[in-house]
Structure 1
Amino acid sequence: MVIHSKTTKGMAKEWAVEAKGLVKTFGNNRAVDGVDLQVKAGSIYGVLGPNGAGKTTTIRMLATLLRPDSGSAQIFGHDVAKEAQIVRQLIGVTGQYASVDESLSATENLVIFSRLLGLGRGEAKRKAVELLEEFGLSEAAKRPLKEFSGGMRRRLDLAASLISQPPLIFLDEPTTGLDPRTRSQMWDTIRRLVKTGSTVLLTTQYLDEADQLADRVAVIDHGRVVAEGTVNELKASVGTSSLHLNIEDPGNLAQAKRIIEEVLGTKAGITAEAGTITAPMANADSVTDLLLALRGAGIPLSEFSVQKPTLDEVFLTITGQDKVSVKTSEEAGATKKEVAIG
């Protein structure tokens, strides 16, 4: 979906997004429970969390698609509730398929969107060709959208949102379902958008995506921001090192986890890979004590390593939940496994 966007006066604001105490309830479900956000203009801001955490609902409120039950939000100083029409001129939103007519080609759809945004016929055609080439869709330019795969539609959706490059772009899980090569191309495009003057706020389940792109990250869980900062700040908050152990006998996992938490005084997690336990570790000297405790309990290890902490350990420590899983992209026959939360 694309929202009409154009640059207006007053774009020298330091904050592209300022949200305070946003709340949205659906029946008995408090989907967003007091979210605060500050997104600096000219940056990439990542909102990270599992499915159902409240990421998309937050984006929809900021984009004027949902009215908050309480709290407030401003886009470049304009209130999303009181000045919704102005806000819609400053933003682009992706996350739904961009199409006017499923029977029309990709080129025809982009030309129609361009014309709706005020471009002349010739300029609209040139823009469509340019965007289709940038997103690797030139060969499919004349094919009707009903023949497009999910990944192709997602690329077209982002292309449509860039016809008239807005000051602020909301990307709701923009690379879900894409193969690794296309995801990398999308990342390059997102970086280019910021270099040419836009601010990007993206939601993602992919840890590596937030790590690669975001200047700052907010971790949302159960409708609340449970941590916020740069990726390095979040990693540092859980310790300087990360412990990784492979337990030889999976039957010892639960006991080993308890011992690790007792010795290190921190939260450990069992990852999606069977037999592996990870835990943040502030003091490397405690490794010796831990190994002795595991040996004393008769728990043999098949592998042991100490590494820098990753975002999955950050999420695990912050939320206290074992939510690390592995997602595999099926788009375009991809076989690369990607670490994700959810």
Structure 2
Amino acid sequence: MKKNIAIIMGGYSSEYKISLKSGNVVYNYLNKDKFNLYRIHIFKNKWVYVDDADNETPIDRNDFSIPLKGNSITFDCVFNAIHGSPGEDGLMQAYFELLGIKHTSCDFYQAALTFNKRDLLSVLKPYGIKAAPSYYLNLGDEINESKIIDKVKLPCFVKANKSGSSFGITKVYKAEELKGAIETAYNEDDEIIIEGFLDGTEVSVGVLKLNGKTTVFPITEIVSENDFFDYQAKYEGKSQEITPARINAEQLEKVTQASRKIYDVLKMKGFSRSEFIFIGNEPFLLEMNTTPGLTTESILPQQAKEAGIELGMLFEYAITEALA
């Protein structure tokens, strides 16, 4: 009997358009002979099922079901393709846990932790995971440029603490640019992390538990045509994404071990994609994404292809693991 699978997409953040694209790729590539697929758009003003003719039916949020033609459609599993809130910060995960519905993403605590860059790096530091020097600000805090620069040096990155797809990130070269960059970050979040610039090779590492084993995919090297791996570089072709990465054997071993360690220490489930920069042979963690992009151009699907896994099977593995 075919399983009913809800593919949730959209969300409440600036990333909603990317999420809709990811969700539709999942819908198009999953095997419809094996699964009954339902596209669910999650927005602040509506949760709706969208059929192939773009007709919308409201979701019953009491049990996450769809009232259709006198029947109530319930789900065996939810495929989470929401980038940002509420799909990547733990809100949907907690909701599904309360309802007892299986889903392809990690648990709610892990989602909330990894979505918060500051907390993630703090939790992983005792496990030997290296990160750039950083300075924290909350909305309303005094902005002391000299203290910030003493801590992180210049150039530095000013980032929204809880945001993705490079929204709210600015690379700062001069002290007088700090306040403008901080204002930009506050447009996305009321918490900020300011990090020292790491000058080295940037890589992205995808991980998924396959048949109960933490599996690290072939690693991607990121070469941005812009000043850093910003929104244009990620989504508008302004970067080279080279898989497998052009790194030496020691770098490959260390970043593979670090990625697997992070996944296991945090007791992760589902997809993750972690970004690192090498200083010499040492990988420094930038961030971890638990709902990475899943379009045909996205990094994780590129890595799966290099590993010999076609897109439909990649998505099916995530469902199989969730149901198991």
Tell me the TM-score normalized by structure 2.
0.28
Tell me the TM-score normalized by structure 1.
0.27
**Structure with greater Cα Rg:** 1
